[in-house]
Amino acid sequence: MAMPKGPQAFPRSEYLRRLSVVKAEMERREIGVLIVTVSPNITYLTGYTARSGYVPQGLIVSLKNEEPTFVVRRCDAPSAIYEMFIDRNRIIGYPETLIGNPEMDGFDAVIDFLHDNGLASGGVGLETKFLAQQSVEKFKIRMPQATIRDFSGCITWTRLIKSDLEIVVMKEAAAIADAGILRAKEVIRPGVREADAAAEIIATLVRGVNGKPGTDVSDFHLCASPLSATPHTRWSEDVLHQGSQVNFEFGAVRYGYVSALSRTFMIGKPSERLRRVHEGEVAGMEAALAAVRPGVTCGDIATAFNTTIKKHGFEKETRCGYSIGIDWLEPTASIKEGDPTVLQPNMTFHLLLNNWIDEDFGYALSETFRVTETGAEVFTTLPREIFVM
Amino acid sequence: MAMPKGPQAFPRSEYLRRLSVVKAEMERREIGVLIVTVSPNITYLTGYTARSGYVPQGLIVSLKNEEPTFVVRRCDAPSAIYEMFIDRNRIIGYPETLIGNPEMDGFDAVIDFLHDNGLASGGVGLETKFLAQQSVEKFKIRMPQATIRDFSGCITWTRLIKSDLEIVVMKEAAAIADAGILRAKEVIRPGVREADAAAEIIATLVRGVNGKPGTDVSDFHLCASPLSATPHTRWSEDVLHQGSQVNFEFGAVRYGYVSALSRTFMIGKPSERLRRVHEGEVAGMEAALAAVRPGVTCGDIATAFNTTIKKHGFEKETRCGYSIGIDWLEPTASIKEGDPTVLQPNMTFHLLLNNWIDEDFGYALSETFRVTETGAEVFTTLPREIFVM
């Protein structure tokens, strides 16, 4: 039987709107055909979230056609039919002979499609920055009539300003992240294994809230003493104990969109040092959010934070956040001093104030927010406190 | 305070053994210094599993030194001190100015280290295949005295044959994966949301078994009707019902090492078609495992499977598996017809017989095994059955 279309995260008009922005940029750059290979960009333009991007695949956007065409490993075509808004005839499955084959891969199927459809000449856009050198070479060698133009980053920058529909989805994800911290309040106890606490919280992030499940597992970090200053470890095999500090940074997901959140937990009385850092960081968070409005730059937000915590006697070396959306971090605007990105309504950021102060001492506080017409709207409803157990 | 060394997954002697194999290959290729950038290869040579590899980092192996040096983003240095077997002085944190900076990145810190230590000349190995073109260019331009030699795949192929210590870890992971399927037997019921079932099973994979927790969340797929033929979707927002078929493919993790497992569940009576596929696939699994012994090729295993299911009236387009270890799939040996890789003891494979037959009909059966002196040792203890609920 034929695969039905699944429930779509967004209406067709939303995807066509996104495509129209990309196509306008293609025209401006004299690119008739664009080959999109970066997975979150494929999600953005079509709704596809299946994890097939570890082998080559390409979404082909042509100025000649309203809908793009997706060339994907054949066994993944049913997921594409189910998830993507495009007509099933625009999903081309390539054969398994291109997998684990040292001579050819899925990009050969993409190139074949372009040749077969008279699209392998003129200006052809490619996200070269994120492709292996040999893949870029393959496109150049096999399409000698085409002028390959780098389109790296262009769609990613388009993703920077969200539609109201995207904001709804990110808020759904944020409500799930909140539930994760609330679950942590129930399970972070002396004598509990870190893994058992992680299991409960991750399960909450999958179950979701308000009848809306998480649709994927995102990055998850439970960093307990002595690892409170390690941003990228998962959890250890230790047991929590009186005096353990536990820093969380995790995300919740709806349709590929992530809302991220960080909070600090303490089993037992927080030290004077931790209290002082906390006070400085909360003041810094408030100052940063107060600085947000259309027209100021990402750098201005960072300056507001850094100036404030300096008054409290601290510094933070790492940047204060970044644009967030599909698959967490969008590699575009950074909330760091000097970043010239000018804020506009519906940009969304992970204001990541986590501060890895010493090798064995760090502090976690982060929130996901959107820029409004007049300021910032924070997605979490949680208090900014050290959760003392 | 200084970060202590955490519990190590393997003794120092194990890491030095692995390094000695890599160094021998470096000598053979006249490479004095090797820059390892592929994350699972860094895990293999040092024990480091923190998820910092989304920004540039490099493990520098020199023939002059017993231990390698790790150049990593400064905020990730504490995790490296905690997890890696090497001396803390061999962990070099680079400053945050190299993050989100269009002019320079962490590879500049790697190159600076090589220059500062007289290592930027002569044969320098680089895993070019997995680097962006502009990064490869940077190494070439900034080290004009060096001859950059491609080392892509070399360490990955070294990982193909596991030590007995690695096998122990993979069996620990396999026991956790088994527990995941046993949990599925408890929670797959009509009226249960797919996300709620997924939450319970994922939590089991994190908690682990036998006092040994999972150390990470791995890939997880709960593919229920009509998505039983989509290998790479997570789960849907649907509710399971009488007549739902549920295909699982997931992995459990210990210290970065994954054991993977797939099984098919059916709520209600399996159709005649599903029963016939199951019979053919189980016979194919048995034939494939019976073919395993040192000296035969990966291709021979695939032939044994394919010949058997053909007798049962079926075919499978996708390959029958691949080498498995750190971070799941090792991009080396494929279990597919014609693959010339000759089996040797302690190679480990994910024998992935999942068969996506029609758009809306697939079947899941896979196991992780090792090659022994005389045959195959399967890591799962589960029966090969359709789990009927």
User: Best residue in A1, A75, A169, A202 to probe B by mutation, most B CBs within 10 Å?
Assistant: A75
Cα separation values, B212 from A159, A246, B217, Å: 42, 21, 14
Of B262, B293, B254, B301, the residue nearest B278 (C-alpha):
B262
Using a CB–CB cutoff of 8 Å, tell me whether A249 touches chain B: no
| A135 CB neighbour count, 10 Å cutoff | 19
Cross-chain Cβ contact B78/A229 below 8 Å? yes
Cα separation values, B284 from B12, B245, B320, Å: 41, 21, 10
Position B15 pLDDT exceeds 80: yes
3-state secondary structure of A161: strand
Q: What average pLDDT does the structure give for chain B?
A: 97
Out of B4, B336, B356, the one facing A226 most closely (by C-beta) is B4
Tokens of A117: 């459809």
Of B132, B16, B384, B2, the residue nearest A135 (C-alpha):
B132
Out of B133, B195, B336, the one facing A208 most closely (by C-beta) is B195
Looking at the complex, report in whole angstroms how far the Cα of residue B19 sits from the nearest Cα belonging to chain A.
24
Q: What's the rounded Cα separation, in Å, for the pair B73 and B92?
A: 8
- Distance, CA of B1 to chain centre: 35
Cross-chain Cβ contact B52/A133 below 8 Å? no
Of B168, B260, B78, the residue nearest A236 (C-alpha):
B78
Cross-chain Cβ contact A49/B334 below 8 Å? no
Using a CB–CB cutoff of 8 Å, tell me whether A128 touches chain B: yes
Cross-chain Cβ contact A213/B202 below 8 Å? no
3-state secondary structure of B135: helix
3-state secondary structure of B212: strand
CA quadruple A281, A283, A285, A287: dihedral positive or negative?
Answer: negative
What residues of chain A, 75 to 114, have a C-beta less than 8 Å from chain B? 75-79, 81-83, 95-96, 99-100
Contacts of A96 in chain B (CB under 8 A): 317-319
Of A349, A348, A346, A347, the residue nearest A336 (C-alpha):
A349
Report residue B130's pLDDT band, with 50, 70 and 90 as the boundaries: confident
Q: What's the rounded Cα separation, in Å, for the pair B181 and B248?
A: 8
Cross-chain Cβ contact A132/B129 below 8 Å? yes
Cross-chain Cβ contact A81/B359 below 8 Å? yes
Q: Delineate the domains of chain A, giving CATH numbers in brackets.
A: 12-158 (3.40.350.10), 164-388 (3.90.230.10)
Using a CB–CB cutoff of 8 Å, tell me whether B360 touches chain A: yes
**Residue bearing the bigger pLDDT, A86 or B2:** A86
pLDDT attached to residue B214 = 98
Contacts of A229 in chain B (CB under 8 A): 3, 75, 78
pLDDT attached to residue B31 = 98
Closest chain B residue to A217, measured at CA? B217
CB-based contact A268:A241 (threshold 8 Å): no
Q: What's the rounded Cα separation, in Å, for the pair A77 and A81?
A: 6
Q: What is the mean pLDDT of each run of 10 residues along chain A (389 residues)?
A: 89 98 98 98 98 96 98 97 97 93 94 98 94 91 98 97 98 98 98 98 98 96 96 97 98 98 98 98 98 98 98 95 97 95 98 95 98 98 97
Using a CB–CB cutoff of 8 Å, tell me whether A30 touches chain B: no
Of B210, B216, B206, B205, the residue nearest B168 (C-alpha):
B210
CB-based contact A59:A68 (threshold 8 Å): yes
Q: Strands B366-371 and B376-378, how do they pair?
A: antiparallel
pLDDT attached to residue B205 = 98
Using a CB–CB cutoff of 8 Å, tell me whether B361 touches chain A: yes
pLDDT attached to residue A32 = 98
Contacts of A317 in chain B (CB under 8 A): 74-75, 95-96
Over the stretch B273-320, which tens digit does the pLDDT of each residue have?
A: 999 999 999 999 999 999 999 999 999 999 999 999 999 999 999 999
Cis ω for the linkage preceding A226 (within 30 of 0):
yes
Contacts of A78 in chain B (CB under 8 A): 227, 229-230, 356, 359-360
Chains A, B: CB pairs < 8 Å:
215
Residue whose entry in the numeric block shows the structure tokens 């190590």: B8
pLDDT attached to residue B329 = 95
Q: Report, in this order, helix, strand and coil percent for chain A, each rounded to 5.
A: 35, 25, 40
Beta bridge partners of B349: B323, B369
pLDDT attached to residue A100 = 80
Of A330, A366, A374, the residue nearest A348 (C-alpha):
A330
Of A318, A372, A328, the residue nearest A350 (C-alpha):
A328
Q: What is the ipTM of this complex?
A: 0.97
Q: What's the rounded Cα separation, in Å, for the pair B305 and B319?
A: 10
Residues in chain A: 389
Closest chain A residue to B133, measured at CA? A133
Looking at the complex, report in whole angstroms how far the Cα of residue A318 sits from the nearest Cα belonging to chain B.
6
CB-based contact B366:B262 (threshold 8 Å): yes
Looking at the complex, report in whole angstroms how far the Cα of residue A41 sits from the nearest Cα belonging to chain B.
17
pLDDT attached to residue A53 = 95
Report residue B161's pLDDT band, with 50, 70 and 90 as the boundaries: very high
Q: Report, in this order, helix, strand and coil percent for chain B, each rounded to 5.
A: 35, 25, 40
N- to C-terminal Cα separation, chain A: 54
Looking at the complex, report in whole angstroms how far the Cα of residue B244 sits from the nearest Cα belonging to chain A.
15
pLDDT attached to residue A333 = 96
Contacts of B129 in chain A (CB under 8 A): 132-134
**Residue ranges of E strands in chain B:** 33-36, 58-62, 69-73, 91-94, 122-126, 146-150, 220-224, 245-254, 257-266, 321-325, 328-334, 348-352, 355-358, 361-363, 366-371, 376-378, 387-388
Cross-chain Cβ contact A82/B226 below 8 Å? yes
N- to C-terminal Cα separation, chain B: 54
Position B58 pLDDT exceeds 80: yes
- Report percent pLDDT > 90 for chain B: 96
